[in-house]
Amino acid sequence: MKAEQKKIVLATANARYSHTSLALRSLLANLREFEKDAVLLEFTITDRPADAAEAILSREPRFVLLSVYLWNAVFLNEVASIIRAVAPAVTIVLGGPEVSFEDDLPPVAQWAHHIIAGEGELLLPALLAALAAGRPFARFTRATPPDLSGIALPLRLYTDEDIRHRVLYVESSRGCAFGCEFCLSCLTDRVRFFDPVALMPALEDLWNRGARKFKFIDRTIHAGKAERILRFFLDRNVEGLFVHFEIVPDHLTDPLFDLLAKFPSGAVQLEAGVQTFDPEVAARVGRKQDMDRTLRNLQRLIATTGVHIHSDLVAGLPGETMAGFADGFNRLLATGVHEIQVGILKRLRGAPIDRHTAAFEMVYRNTPPYDVLQNRDIPFADMQRLKRFARFFDLVFNSGNFRRTAPSLWAADTPFNGFMRFSDWMHDAVHNTADISLDRLATLIFRYRTEILGHATGNTADGLLADFVSAGRTRFPACVREAATVPLPTGRPGRRSALLPPRQERRKGGVQ
């Protein structure tokens, strides 16, 4: 069947199918008279660029807008090059963070007729109107941040398929009150809020359509509007609710603690940006943070609420040594947080972090994701070790698949040192960090505990068995079947709730 013709195609490539593009939906919702002639197409970075280009061109568009990010810049570069080669009459417009700086543009920019930097809800329809009327328009234009009271919310554009199977991204504000130089949000000088008179009915409409999982992308959800939003969800608190917020943990208030304590376990996830515990490093990159209060608030969240805490640390910041990072990691893990995402510093296009490049001998990859390869304090070989550490820690600890077994990997040392030894051993054993099945990972953990740490085979197998059972699994790796000292469960598997994301469900205690 031939695709419906649309004069305007808005397209992007998400990291995976479950993700959605809030930016494109917001642009589409604000196209005014052009909306009826537009369609939104979402691909994933695992698709073939030629197939994406074919799907776009099957609409026979006059204009194609591509939303370019760190993760899809290489993919969209090929898509755009194909469109320019086979359909030169099509006008390509680029937007997104990756093309926001005229003096630092990626290769995909060479295919663009026009580039919009910044928030384009008002600028894009102006560009389309000018081009449709045959008027000239600048190739690169930076949008003035709009008054959010004049922006139409895009939540109505989530489809029933989105609600059933995908993450629903929501924003109640734009901008950031903080000045972290490794983040593009530091370039904004204030936080702007969407009018709750429009936002709350839009959330209500999504809720009435069956939406139960919401991910707020606000950088500062606690900057003044969080209580209203939390109460909205508390008033509708039903089984299956899951809502995600980003927080800066030292800014939490008593009223927020009180509200968070009323939610059932796992219903709220807080992404707690910590980044570093080194005050000198934090000051150097513009990170304002009360370190002691951060630790106290994280501990209080664990002790008094059922929220799932996903915390972030950044490795490779200018001036932070491996020992300094290790100390921060150990302090953060001791709070009891459920996940620690070890992120490797990236030189995002336009981010002020670049001002430290010479002084701290920062060497970055020149292709996405632009991660640091080495610096004055951490040589390349150790930076590689940190990257493997991050991947294996995510697989073993953050996943929740080995809740009982994981801490034993570092029980005889500090968590960082103990897990780094495991990570180094894993790398020697498998020589990669990808495509490691759960069974193989369990077998490797079994080998490390028994062969390197000297634990008894039966004790190790019993711990792994308990981990598998708590996750609702009844198929076990050979090392567990052969060495367990307790009977293996038989019969039908336990029923794992599908109401919460898997990691949150495992942290709650597994099957029902």
pLDDT beneath 50: ranges in the chain: 509-512
Helix H or strand E encompassing 141: strand 140-142
Cis peptide before 61 (omega within 30 of 0): no
Domain 8-146 and domain 154-378 have a common topology: no
Query: CA 439, CA 228: separation in Å to the nearest integer?
Result: 45
Query: CA 337, CA 29: separation in Å to the nearest integer?
Result: 38
State the sign of the Cα–Cα–Cα–Cα dihedral 245, 349, 118, 86: negative
Query: CA 57, CA 60: separation in Å to the nearest integer?
Result: 5
Look at residue 511 in the predicted model and tell me its pLDDT: 33
Query: What is the CATH architecture assignment of 8-146?
Result: 3-Layer(aba) Sandwich (3.40)
Longest Cα separation, the chain: 79
Amino acid present at 342? V
C-alpha atoms less than 13 angstroms from C-alpha of 322 in its C-beta half-sphere: 18
Which residue in the block uniquely carries the two structure tokens 């308990």? Answer: 466
Look at residue 190 in the predicted model and tell me its pLDDT: 79
Look at residue 512 in the predicted model and tell me its pLDDT: 26
List, as one string, the DSSP characters of 33-97: GGGGGEEEEEEETTS-HHHHHHHHHTT--SEEEEE--TTTHHHHHHHHHHHHHH-TTSEEEEESG
Query: CA 318, CA 328: separation in Å to the nearest integer?
Result: 15
Domain covering 154-378 in this structure, CATH number: 3.80.30.20
Start-to-end C-alpha separation, the chain: 45
Look at residue 239 in the predicted model and tell me its pLDDT: 83
Amino acid present at 262? K
Do residues 330 and 336 lie in contact, with contact meaning Cβ atoms separated by under 8 Å? no
68: left (phi over 0), alpha (psi -120 to 50) or beta: beta
Query: Cα 374 from chain centroid?
Result: 24
Query: CA 361, CA 366: separation in Å to the nearest integer?
Result: 15
Query: CA 465, CA 447: separation in Å to the nearest integer?
Result: 15
Residue 20 phi, psi dihedral angles, 5° rounding? -135, 160
Look at residue 4 in the predicted model and tell me its pLDDT: 84
CA distances from 204 to 80, 127, 207, 239 (A): 38, 33, 5, 17
- Residues β-bridged to residue 461: none
Amino acid present at 484? A
Do residues 110 and 85 lie in contact, with contact meaning Cβ atoms separated by under 8 Å? no
CA-based nearest residue to 505, from 242, 211, 236, 207? 242
- Residues β-bridged to residue 117: 142
Query: CA 74, CA 349: separation in Å to the nearest integer?
Result: 15
Do residues 133 and 158 lie in contact, with contact meaning Cβ atoms separated by under 8 Å? no
Model confidence pLDDT, tens digit, residues 247-279: 989 989 898 999 999 999 999 999 999 999 999
CA-based nearest residue to 106, from 138, 69, 79? 69
Amino acid present at 386? L
Question: How many CB atoms lie under 10 A from the CB of residue 428?
Answer: 8
Query: CA 117, CA 146: separation in Å to the nearest integer?
Result: 13
State the sign of the Cα–Cα–Cα–Cα dihedral 102, 105, 107, 113: negative
List the structure tokens of 310: 């996903």
163: left (phi over 0), alpha (psi -120 to 50) or beta: alpha
Query: CA 374, CA 384: separation in Å to the nearest integer?
Result: 9
Q: Where are the domains of the chain?
A: 8-146, 154-378, 405-512
Question: How many CB atoms lie under 10 A from the CB of residue 71?
Answer: 16
